[in-house]
Structure 1
Amino acid sequence: MKPAASAWPSLVLAAALLGPATAPLAGAASEAAAAPVVLGTASHAGEPELAAAVLRLAGDLLARQGLALQEGSVRFTGTGPVATGAPVEVVWSPPAARGALRLPLRLALRGAAGQPDMQAVVYGRLQQDMPVLNRPLARGAALGCADVSVQRRPVEMARADLWPLPCSLPAGTVLRRPLNEGDVLRRSDAGARPAVAQMQPVTIRVVAGAVVLESAGLALADAEVGDTVRVRPNISRQAVDARVVGPQAVVLESGTMQ
């Protein structure tokens, strides 16, 4: 039950956040994650100031996981554990299961020894820094860090295959599918240029004993050296299977082409 307004004279933040080394986040071993973490201390003086302090501490906790709290609000439950001006500890109990922090976030407000805890439940929207394309790029286009910016997006857009930050793209990286300006970059979207690229020209070698014939054609899929790929020779409308033997080069045995 929410305490009466008279029970909350104004609040002044009394101590800074403890350093990150003293506050293990979710993702640590379950034994370490079970220990409560004191996010900071405050002295009690009114509900609006208390809510502001809790949001600040919760925001700092989330920021250490690369998350940003938007439109945050706090709901208090329980009886007030402190008298006017008395110190309050804001305590977070990490979940036993590994994973990123999510809302609502439940914190305990602890007063003097022997007094009951008050609970603060933090609500809002979470955003996360994500790699985003600065401009539209076609499939197969060269991709560098100059083409990528960091923008905050709703955490619901995040998946395990986000391209990692800070940006690091090896030379020769290309897009594997077309992306528009503002699209989030994922690991599956980019990589090294394949030996044979879809809808790109290839040299088709036909081997018949000691005789090797060459013809131009078009690859119908991406493939690496050693893979089998469908190609369409320029001299025929029929697609055939060929083995990739090098950059833009495939080979097929005689008798495969009709």
Structure 2
Amino acid sequence: MKKILSIAVLLLIVIAGCKKIDYADNEQTGEGLVDFGLKLPVSGTAIVLNSGTPTATVNFSWNAAKPGLYTAPVYTIVMALKNGGDLNEPYVSFPVNGSVTAVDLTQQQIDDALKAKGIPNGAKTDLIWGVKATNGSVSILSQTIFNVSITRMKDGASGFVLLAPASSTSPITINPGSTAESFTFRWTKSKPAVGSPAVSYKVVFSLTGDFTTPLFSINGNASPADTTATITYKAMSDSMTAHGLTTLSAPANLKWTVIATTGNWSQQADYVNELTIIREV
């Protein structure tokens, strides 16, 4: 009899332990967030703000901080001084609408935030940036933190494009001794920002498309024809020879663009064109 009772008690314990728990009336009071990282701008990026294009944007993006259960987080871009700064006490911050993981900040937004901190016009500030994610219960910072430098607006100019000669790899044959024939380069006008000096132009040439150190250059014509530059075939040939292109009959594939300058600001045209020249022998 005692054995039967023991078995019955054991069965009741097992049944009670296997009973399904009803969570219908339980209220969730919090949940975690999974660590996440940054994408753009990458560490080491130098952002120079242009007062001539205040609505141009800088893209910031990151991976999603996945919620533990249901609540998607909202994000805030946070920046602190590189030396001695703390992203938990940001120098400047930019709240992000919704749960998106990328946002385009206008150059004016960024400049206004730095201006409010007393950073002078045209000054460069070394910063670190990250993203803070919060879902109402938990707040975490991005696992990665990137370095970035931002130079505040001072002088600036609007974007502009090349018009002629049209980009082509088809060779143009010229008489290298002709002073009666010439190339005319044309582009649209770049407008200086309010308070910036007048814009001047220079046509720059390169073999590689890198115009940091041009192969050679020619100045734009005097105003009001300052969106053109003219160079005779002879002057063009002489410049090419002086910069290493000594074989007249060999096709020389040049890349060219235009640099607009106002004050301490230099603005490259939006495009790079190709020009292939063969000189008659």
Structure whose alpha-carbon radius of gyration is higher = 2
TM-score per shorter chain, which class? under 0.3
TM superposition score normalised by structure 2: 0.21
Normalising by the residue count of structure 1, what TM-score does the alignment of the two structures yield? 0.22
